[in-house]
Structure 1
């Protein structure tokens, strides 16, 4: 079991390693769209937690009606997004982030991934990098039409 300080250090090491991996692959972390989506309610995210590794388009708003409206705009273009992303992309209109709130999520999930399994970090980096490249491309394909509708 890790102490709080050890856990924090492992997380820092992981994300620093992912930044280096991305740079080696030709993408600085600042070059991903991530928070610069131009749609207030939408962020592209990486996450690695006790439920696995995730690459996400997250739709979040204080108002459920606004969150659902934005999510539904993405759903309208699901065939376009799926043609880029493939069948393993998951869609959840109401995904509960434990201890936090509901968000809309369009995401890839690598089950069983653990930040504490350092021997597998490279495979997690590969998963997150490859899936974000695809997800970002799909997002950019539909961004303008979604932005106009919201």
Structure 2
């Protein structure tokens, strides 16, 4: 079991390692910033990574404050589900009522790799490979449907 400070250090090392890993990916070398993340240029829509004891997550999150607006934006994405999932043989997980740890509700479209644990350094390469590959695919899917949704 890690102390709070040790866990903070572990996560810091994990994300620094991910940055180093990404700097060696040819598709990312030409980019000004590695991934789109918060710069989707679509209000209330962000792309995120998460790494936990349960696995790795690559997420498109709709976090508009107004529940009606949030659900409406989610439904717009859902109309293009087939196009969005083209790059994902196992599909994506579509959750219109995901509750974050903080208790607030958002809509999420994501993919996950379970069976890996951020506390196991030996598995970090599996996290890195999954997260980089899947985020590139999710960004491509997002860009494909973005214009139609706006």
The reply on whether 1:7 has 2:7 as its aligned counterpart is yes
Q: 2:107: which partner in 1?
A: 104
TM-score for the superposition, normalised by structure 2: 0.92
TM-score for the superposition, normalised by structure 1: 0.92
Choose from 138, 141, 146 the match for 2:141: 138
* Matched residues, number: 147
Q: 2:33: which partner in 1?
A: 30
User: 1:97 Cα deviation (Å)?
Assistant: 1.4
1:63-94 deviation digits (Å, cap 9, x = unpaired): 11111011001001111111133333111111
1:103-142 deviation digits (Å, cap 9, x = unpaired): 1111011113221110000011001011111111000001
Q: 1:18: which partner in 2?
A: 18
SS at match of 2:97: strand
Are the counterparts in 1 of residues 62 and 107 from structure 2 also a CA contact under 8 Å? yes
The reply on whether 1:75 has 2:78 as its aligned counterpart is yes
Alpha-carbon distance in 1 for matches of 2:71, 2:132:
28
Structure 2, unpaired ranges of 5+: none
User: 1:51 Cα deviation (Å)?
Assistant: 3.2
SS at match of 1:30: coil
RMSD: 1.5
Are the counterparts in 1 of residues 37 and 47 from structure 2 also a CA contact under 8 Å? yes
Q: 1:48: which partner in 2?
A: 51
Alpha-carbon distance in 1 for matches of 2:124, 2:87:
26
Alpha-carbon distance in 1 for matches of 2:114, 2:121:
16
Structure 1, unpaired ranges of 5+: none
